[in-house]
Chain A
C-alpha cells in the first residue's frame, strides 16, 4: 500500500499531465497525419491514389479539357496510402488536424484541384502533360528533347522512340 502512496504523492507534485487545449498549446508532432493537400501541378493523372483509397474518398472526373480531383475529408481515414503510392507526391497529408466543423459544412470539407489537359504536340489528342516532378523522378536532369517528350501522348512518344532506334541502327 505504501508503495502506491509514494506514486500518488509523486503524481500530485508533478501536476496535471493533460495539455491545456483549447486554452493553450497542444502537442503536434512532425508527420502527424491530418488534412490532405493536393497539388494539381505535380499530378500526372495516374489515379493510383483513387485506386488504393479504402474510404472511396478520392474521385476523378475527366472532361474534354481537364481532370478534376475531389477528396472528401469526411470519408478519408488518414491512412496515408495515397501519399505512399503517389510517385510525384502530388497528394500529401499535412499536420493540420483542425478538422472539426458544423454539420452544414460537411460537404465543404473537401480538397479540390484541376489538372488541365493539353493537346499532344504530335497528333493533337488531349492529354495530361507529364509533371516536372515525374520527369525529375525519371530523368533527374532534363533537356529540351526530354522536355518535348512531356507534351507527347504515349503513342507519339513510342513512334519517336522507334525512329530513334532506327537512326541508331543506320
Chain B
C-alpha cells in the first residue's frame, strides 16, 4: 500500500491549542509523524528579564491558564530558595490547597475533553458541570475563576477564615460524590472503553526513553511524582499515594488523572484540618542576593522546573522554566504510530498538552 502525507493542525477542530502534525499514513494507519511547534510563541522568557521580581509573579501566572498556580508558586519557591527564606508553615499548607484546587479543575477539564472527542458530549457536559463546583470555589476563595493570585514572595496573600474553611470543606464533600461517580463511569462505560482502551499505547520502556512526566508517565507505570520524590510546601506532612496504571493507553492516563483529582480533594481536606494558625507571609520585603536557584513542583501535567539567576538587582538576570508538555509531546511519536488517523486528536489530548506554556 502506498503511503501519503496529511497535515493535522495547527488549527484543527479537535486540537485545543495550535500544533502542526505532519502525519505519514498508510491507509487508515499512522506510520510516521513530524511535529512542528512555534505557533503561539509570545516571548515571555525575554519579558521576564525586563520585569522586577514582584511583577514576575503576575507574569508567570499568565503562562498557562490551567496550571496557572503552579507557575508563580514554583517561581516564588525559586526566589525563596535563593534568598534562604523559610515561609510560614500556614503558608505552606495554603500553597498546597491552591495547587490541589487547580489540579482537580485541570484534570477534570482534560477528561471532559476526552468525552467530547469520542463524541460523548453528554459526558463532556456532565464533567464540565462538576468542574463548575471547583470554579465557584476558586472564585469564592481567591476572587477569580482561573488566576488565583494566591502567591507572593515569602508566602501567600490569602487566608482561610473559619467560614471559608467550612465552605471549602463542604464543597469538597460535594466533589467526592461526583468524582466517585465519574471515575466509575470512565472505568465501566462501554462507549468510553471502546474508544480509549488499547489506544495510543506508550510502553513503560518508551515512557522512560522519552523521559515523560506527570500523568503520562504514571499511566505507563512509572512511579514518579515530585510531591513525593522531593516534597515541597507541606507535602512531606500529608498522607497520599502516587497513582499509577500499567496499561499506558488513553484510558489509563484518564484514570490516573481522575484518581489524582479524588486524591487532591482528600489532600485539601487534610490541609484544612492540619493547618496551624499563624502568619501567611513574611512581613519584611525580601532581599534577593546575587546567585542562582532551582525549584520544582508537580503541576497537573507533571514536573515543572524553574531556574533563576540573579545579579543582586531586583530584575532576574535569567529566568527559565521547563514545562511537562515539553517532555510529553515528543512521546506522541511513539503513541501515534500504529494507531488510526481518526484517533489522533484523542491521543494528542491524552497527554493534556499545554502549548501556551511550552512555547511561552
Contacts and interface: CB of A to CB of B under 8 A. Distances in A.
Interface of A: 1, 3-4, 7-8, 11, 17, 27, 29-33, 51-55, 77-81, 84-85, 93
12 contacts: A3-B185, A3-B188, A7-B181, A7-B185, A31-B141, A31-B143, A32-B144, A33-B142, A54-B54, A54-B55, A54-B56, A78-B144
B157 interface: yes
A51 to B, nearest CB: 7
A54 B126 contact: no
Nearest to A34: B143
Contacts of A27: 136, 139
Interface stretch (B24-32, B58-66, B212-220): B58-66
A80 to B, nearest CB: 5
Tell me if A's interface is mostly helix, strand, loop or mixed.
loop
Given A52-B55, A54-B56, A93-B143, 6 more contacts: A51-B52, A77-B147, A78-B149, A79-B57, A81-B57, A85-B54
Given A11-B126, A54-B56, A78-B144, A84 B51 contact: no
Interface in B164-208: 181, 184-185, 188-191
Nearest to A30: B140
B356 to A, nearest CB: 16
B313 interface: no
A80 B149 contact: yes
A93 B157 CA distance: 14
B230 interface: no
A51 B143 contact: no
A8 B121 CA distance: 11
Given A1-B191, A54-B51, A85-B54, A79 B147 contact: yes
B149 A81 contact: yes
B132 interface: yes
A1 B191 CA distance: 8
A3 B184 CA distance: 9
Given A11-B129, A17-B129, A80 B54 contact: no
Interface of B: 51-52, 54-59, 61-62, 122-123, 126, 129, 132, 136, 139-144, 147, 149, 152, 157, 181, 184-185, 188-191
Contacts of B142: 31, 33
Given A7-B126, A52-B55, A80-B149, A29 B132 contact: no
A7 B115 CA distance: 15
Which 9 residue pairs across A and B have the least CB separation, nearest first?
Answer: A54-B58, A52-B54, A33-B143, A54-B55, A29-B140, A79-B58, A84-B157, A79-B149, A31-B143
Contacts of A30: 140
A77 B139 CA distance: 15
Nearest to B72: A79
Nearest to A56: B55
Contacts of A53: 55
Contacts of B132: 17
B143 A32 contact: yes
A140 B139 CA distance: 34
Scoring A1, A51, A80 by chain B CB atoms within 10 A of each residue's CB, the highest score goes to A80
B157 A54 contact: no
A69 to B, nearest CB: 18
A81 B152 contact: yes
Contacts of B58: 54-55, 77, 79, 81
Contact of A33 (B144, B152, B181): B144
B143 A29 contact: yes
A49 B189 CA distance: 53
Contacts of B188: 3
A30 B136 CA distance: 12
A55 to B, nearest CB: 7
Contacts of A93: 143
Contacts of B140: 29-31
B139 A29 contact: yes
A50 B1 CA distance: 65
A156 B157 CA distance: 36
A98 to B, nearest CB: 15
A1 B123 CA distance: 11
B191 A80 contact: no
A1 B184 CA distance: 11
